[in-house]
Structure formats: structure tokens, C-alpha cells
């Protein structure tokens, strides 16, 4: 993120719930001056009120960036408050799930530079991954600026087209819930083998967190990491034979899971 450009033009944050707060915390920690940020939120948190940012006051007429982080059901009321900034130099970045670029163009003006982003909930601890895509009026510099902003809460990837956003929703947007459920299931399975509920949950959480960190940092692929752990005719192989069995094992189940979430994303998008 070019702190100087943002600080000079100003940043307006429309909505400051969990996601908005996580991003704002990352920006301020990264050096963005609090006096260059304006927040519009009907219920500002206690934390927000001690950050030094401007809260629910008149905003600049043409800020460098407006980041839209309101819930989809609040979009109809929120967008008119920033519509006058459209069709100009202001870059609009949306992290609101399900709202398409065309919907923003209708509300803000067809010539507005817009970047749509899909973060996920680990952004709350700086471990998110966000997919972004811009409209025709979002230049390479605009997209790079949005990427820099969103790196405050984790990794950022660029999509080839907006149509990929449904699949992103099915994989990384909804994916944390799949992993949380896996932790639940692993802990319950540990209990079934005689462990206390507290110990089983501690083991399951730490195992998933550790394996994820290793998968991210290792030079080897997850497939090779799996092989490394699996001794011939050992305990891991016995477990994997159940997990990977066809047609009811994890590979086929995950395909159906992601497909269901992707299809539902398309249904919600198309109304």
C-alpha cells in the first residue's frame, strides 16, 4: 500500500464490523495516519473510538479510496451515502459478500473504478486470503493499491474474471467452516477413543493449525508432505485408507462440498 497516496487523499471506511476493524487495525499498524481515515458506522465500537480516526462526520468529497465493508443486507441504505463520489478519481473497494461489480456500477456510476474482493474470516487474525478483481475502469495502479490495502489482513490473489468469484467463495470464503468442522470431528473421534474432551480438542486444534502452517511454509507439496508422514503399513496409512476410500471418502466429499457452496453463491448472486 502506498501510505503517502492514501494519507494525502484520505480513506473512507464504510462499515467497521469485524472485517473492517481487522483491516483498519492493520492499516494503522502499518503506518497510515489515523487523521487520514474517516469511518461511517452506525454502531462504532469502543475500540474504534480510541483509534483517533474520524467517526461519523463529514467525509472528503473525493477521497483516494472508499472501502465498503457493510453487510449485504445493509447495502441498499449504505451506498447512497457515497454515491456522489462516483464517476471520478475515487477508487471503491468492496469486501461485501455477494454484491457484484455491476451492482456497484449501477449505484455509484458506470465509470467508477471498482475492485471487488472476497476475504475470509482468518483475516481477523491477519491470516486471511483475499481474491480481488477490478472493473474496466480500475487501472493496474488501482488494483495494486487495493492489493496493498488488503494485504494488511493476509495474502491477496488476483482473479482473471469476476466469474471465478463463486468458486473462490466455495473454496476459501466458506472453507474456514469446513476446517472448523474437521476440528470438531477430530476431537469427537479422539473422545470416542478414550481421551477427555478438553485434551481431544487441544490436540485437534493444534494439529490442524500446525499442519496448515507447515503446508504453507514447506517447499514440498501437500501430497508429498502426506507421503512423508505415512509409513508403509503404519498407523497413518491405516487412517488414510479410511479417509481416502472411494466413493465415500474425503476427495469425493470435498468436491461435492465445494460445488454445493459454489452453486449456492451463484443462486444468491442471480437472485
Which positions ≥6 away from 197 have C-beta within 8 Å?
A: 187, 191
Q: How far is Cα 173 from Cα 120, in angstroms, rounded to an integer?
A: 5
In this structure, the answer to whether residues 11 and 139 fall within a common structural domain is yes
- The tally of CA atoms less than 13 A away on the side-chain side of residue 168 is 23
In this structure, the answer to whether residues 22 and 118 fall within a common structural domain is yes
In this structure, the answer to whether residues 26 and 78 fall within a common structural domain is yes
* CATH number assigned to the domain comprising residue 196: 1.10.3730.10
pTM of the shown model: 0.92
Express the helix, strand and coil content of the chain in percent, nearest 5 each: 55, 15, 30
Alpha carbon 185 to its chain's center: 24
Q: How far is Cα 100 from Cα 112, in angstroms, rounded to an integer?
A: 14
The pLDDT tens digits for 166-212 are 999 999 999 999 999 999 999 999 999 999 999 999 999 999 999 99
Full domain range(s) for residue 141: 3-165
Task: Choose one of 112, 144, 165: the last residue of a domain.
Answer: 165
In this structure, the answer to whether residues 135 and 239 fall within a common structural domain is no
In this structure, the answer to whether residues 236 and 148 fall within a common structural domain is no
Q: What pLDDT, on the 0 to 100 scale, is given for residue 98?
A: 83
* CATH number assigned to the domain comprising residue 96: 3.40.50.720
Per-residue pLDDT of the chain (271 residues; tens, 9 = 90+): 566 678 788 999 999 999 999 999 999 998 899 999 999 999 999 999 999 999 999 999 999 999 999 988 888 889 999 999 999 999 999 998 888 999 999 999 999 999 999 999 999 899 999 999 999 999 999 999 999 999 999 999 999 999 999 999 999 999 999 999 999 999 999 999 999 999 999 999 999 999 999 999 999 999 999 999 999 999 999 999 999 999 999 999 999 999 999 999 998 877 6
In this structure, the answer to whether residues 67 and 129 fall within a common structural domain is yes
Domain count for the chain = 2
Per-residue cell: 10: 484520505
Amino acid at each position: 500500500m502506498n501510505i503517502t497516496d492514501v494519507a494525502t487523499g484520505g480513506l473512507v471506511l464504510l462499515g467497521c464490523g469485524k472485517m473492517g476493524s481487522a483491516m483498519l487495525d492493520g492499516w494503522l499498524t502499518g503506518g497510515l495516519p489515523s487523521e487520514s481515515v474517516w469511518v461511517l458506522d452506525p454502531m462504532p465500537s469502543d475500540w474504534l473510538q480510541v483509534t483517533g480516526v474520524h467517526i461519523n462526520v463529514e467525509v472528503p468529497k473525493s477521497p483516494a479510496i472508499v472501502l465498503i465493508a457493510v453487510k449485504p443486507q445493509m447495502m441498499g441504505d449504505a451506498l447512497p451515502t457515497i454515491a456522489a463520489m462516483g464517476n471520478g478519481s475515487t477508487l471503491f473497494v468492496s469486501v461485501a459478500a455477494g454484491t457484484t461489480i455491476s451492482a456497484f456500477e449501477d449505484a455509484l456510476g458506470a465509470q467508477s473504478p471498482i475492485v471487488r474482493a472476497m476475504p475470509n474470516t482468518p483475516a481477523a487474525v491477519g491470516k486471511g486470503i483475499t481474491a480481488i478483481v477490478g472493473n474496466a475502469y480500475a487501472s493496474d495502479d488501482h488494483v495494486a493499491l487495493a492489493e496493498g490495502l488488503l494485504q494488511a489482513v493476509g495474502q491477496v490473489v488476483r482473479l482473471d474474471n469476476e466469474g471465478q468469484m463463486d468458486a473462490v467463495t466455495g473454496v476459501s470464503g466458506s472453507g474456514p467452516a469446513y476446517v472448523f468442522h474437521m476440528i470438531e470431528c477430530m476431537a469427537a473421534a479422539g473422545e470416542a477413543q478414550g481421551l477427555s474432551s478438553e485434551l481431544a480438542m487441544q490436540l485437534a486444534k493444534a494439529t490442524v493449525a500446525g499442519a496448515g502452517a507447515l503446508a504453507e511454509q514447506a517447499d514440498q507439496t501437500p501430497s508429498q508432505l502426506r507421503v512423508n508422514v505415512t509409513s508403509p503399513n503404519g498407523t497413518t496409512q491405516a487412517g488414510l485408507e479410511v479417509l481416502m476410500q472411494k466413493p465415500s471418502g474425503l476427495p469425493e466429499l470435498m468436491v461435492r462440498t465445494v460445488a454445493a457452496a459454489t452453486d449456492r453463491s451463484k443462486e444468491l448472486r442471480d437472485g
